[in-house]
Amino acid sequence: MSPARLKGRSRLIPRAGSCSWRIAETDTISRISHRWETLSAGVSLPLLAQTAAMCDLVIQFVEDPDRQFSMSSEAATFGIPALLVRLSSPNASSNRKYAADRSDGKQNLAVSGALAAISDMPSLIASALQAGSVEVVDVSAMHRGQLLSEHSSSLPEPRPERKKIMFANVFFAPQVIGGATRVLMDNLDYCLDNHHNDYDFAAFCADEQNDNAGSWRLDNYRGIPVFRIATPQELNMDWRASNEMVAARFLIALEAFKPDLVHIHCLQRLGVAVAEVCRERNIPYFVTLHDAWWISDYPFLTDETGNPVEVEADTRLQARLPGVGCETSLLRGERLRTALLGATKRFAVSARFAEVYRQAGIECSVVENGSSRITPQPRSGSRDGRINLCHVGGLEYHKGAYLIEAALRMNSFTNLNFTIVDLARGPGEETRTVWGTTPVTITGKMSTAEIARFYASMDVLVAPSTWPESFGLVTREALSHGLWVIASDRGAMGDPVEPDINGFVVSVDDATHLANVFAKIDQEPARFGSSPPALKGLRLVDEQSKEIEQIYRRFFEAIQVQP
């Protein structure tokens, strides 16, 4: 549901309880030109139209039809039913007379009093929904003083407010790109499924594939608001420390939602100002650490040539991106680390990755990720008798796809097919080629449901990351879907792999070890065409999500008992 904007000051907002964030106040606007200025500050007429199109029903309270934008008419153009509540007579002079006397606050009850006075509001809403048109309720005959005296005492007491948590991450559903976004969505789905009465949620994220920098939109995911902003597409956009335009948009989102807590995941493209604004506004924030963005110019601790990059406690010693000056790198490093140290809590997604941050002088606790809740599909098996290898991490250098190509070109394999998912391609975009003697399909990114079907058609996942992966969600997913796994020996990627039982852990210094494993699989297609023994004791995402929710709960409980 989208935030509403009320003209004038209203006591409806404190009475709205957990829904109060959905209402934005502005003073009465007497000049039409000022009204346009106000709209441009936080909302535009096209955005209002888009908002109407997203609704099941539009309820509009009208005081002055001459000056008030007709959301009910806008809704009608989209075939959306509307309920129009007139709070005063259509006579403009009486409206203006009343507008001159609102400092005493009695006008504040115009909306809430009207709702209280209309005892059959549920039936009116049902009627409007059924009719699919504009229904008009005129309460102008009711004196506002009577509303104040007769109905204010009868308004129900608001229920205890649910705690409000805003997530900040580079991507958000349906733009589910990368392991961090998958983890966030799994955590959120768990909370919505099991604790929807305890929390209100919102999300702030970049808008993928929107090149109109600065534009933003409000949509929803399972009923929660999602603020999407088109961030600048530029060189080193994932490296940049901050962007003032994004900071300004985030501040507006904060003011609209008024979170009790902000949980930050990945701030690439959004920038560190998200954390800085929280700190300036005294809003506590948690940070989950999925990569090294906070402590290095290289978030995946691998340089442009594929060589490992060490983390340093002293920012003066850290490796710098080519073309980035020493002073710029140092300023970025200090700014990000200061913001990270200002977090109320910091979580590493594995014990191995917590150690990486400790080497940089950053203490953090560990909340280990869990295997995603993607339901496995029945395995379809190979159509041509070949073993189907796959790589789903994209073509970025640190994911090691170049090692797979080199290994396949080193020998003549007769029983292998290979499919690679290129996250830079759109869904369904495919290219077919041959590496050595192995047929190769390069395909585009997939939805969660498509990933399940994809795994069902594969036999072996290949994950030769050259950076020390913080967790290795993909290897755990693949094992839970019945695939064999070939994993890098760096970081946590290979942690769930039992060599020669459910997969192999290989050196990624070069392609030699990978080629040797391919040769073994090529020689034993019957074995590797069947699933390995099921992995026991695999931590599931619901376990991790439950741990996160308990942390939220304890945090809010601790705040309540503080003097």
The per-residue pLDDT for 152 is 44
The per-residue pLDDT for 83 is 72
The per-residue pLDDT for 557 is 94
Please tell me the distance from the alpha carbon of residue 112 to that of residue 117, in angstroms, as a whole number.
9
Could you tell me the two tokens for 116?
């209280």
Give 10-residue mean pLDDT values along the chain (563 residues).
44 49 49 42 51 72 59 68 65 39 39 50 64 56 44 47 95 89 94 95 92 88 94 89 91 94 97 96 98 95 87 90 88 96 97 95 96 84 88 90 96 96 88 97 88 94 94 91 96 93 96 98 96 88 96 94 64
- Give SS3 for 368: coil
Eight-class DSSP state of 67: T
CA distances from 303 to 40, 297, 466, 490 (A): 43, 9, 10, 15
> What residue ranges define each of the domains in the chain, with the CATH number in brackets?
4-154 (no CATH), 163-370+545-557 (3.40.50.2000), 387-528 (3.40.50.2000)
User: Rounded to two decimals, what is the model's pTM?
Assistant: 0.69
Could you tell me the two tokens for 45?
């007429």
Could you tell me the two tokens for 437?
């003697």
The per-residue pLDDT for 289 is 98
The per-residue pLDDT for 194 is 97
Q: Which residue has the tokens 């913080």?
A: 470
The per-residue pLDDT for 391 is 97
Considering Cα of 197, then 175, then 288, then 485, what sign does the dihedral take?
positive
The per-residue pLDDT for 406 is 97
Q: Where are the alpha helices (DSSP H) in 100-141?
A: 109-117, 121-131
- CA 182-3-552 angle, to 5 degrees, is 45
The per-residue pLDDT for 441 is 96
The per-residue pLDDT for 48 is 59
Q: Which residue has the tokens 């090149």?
A: 211
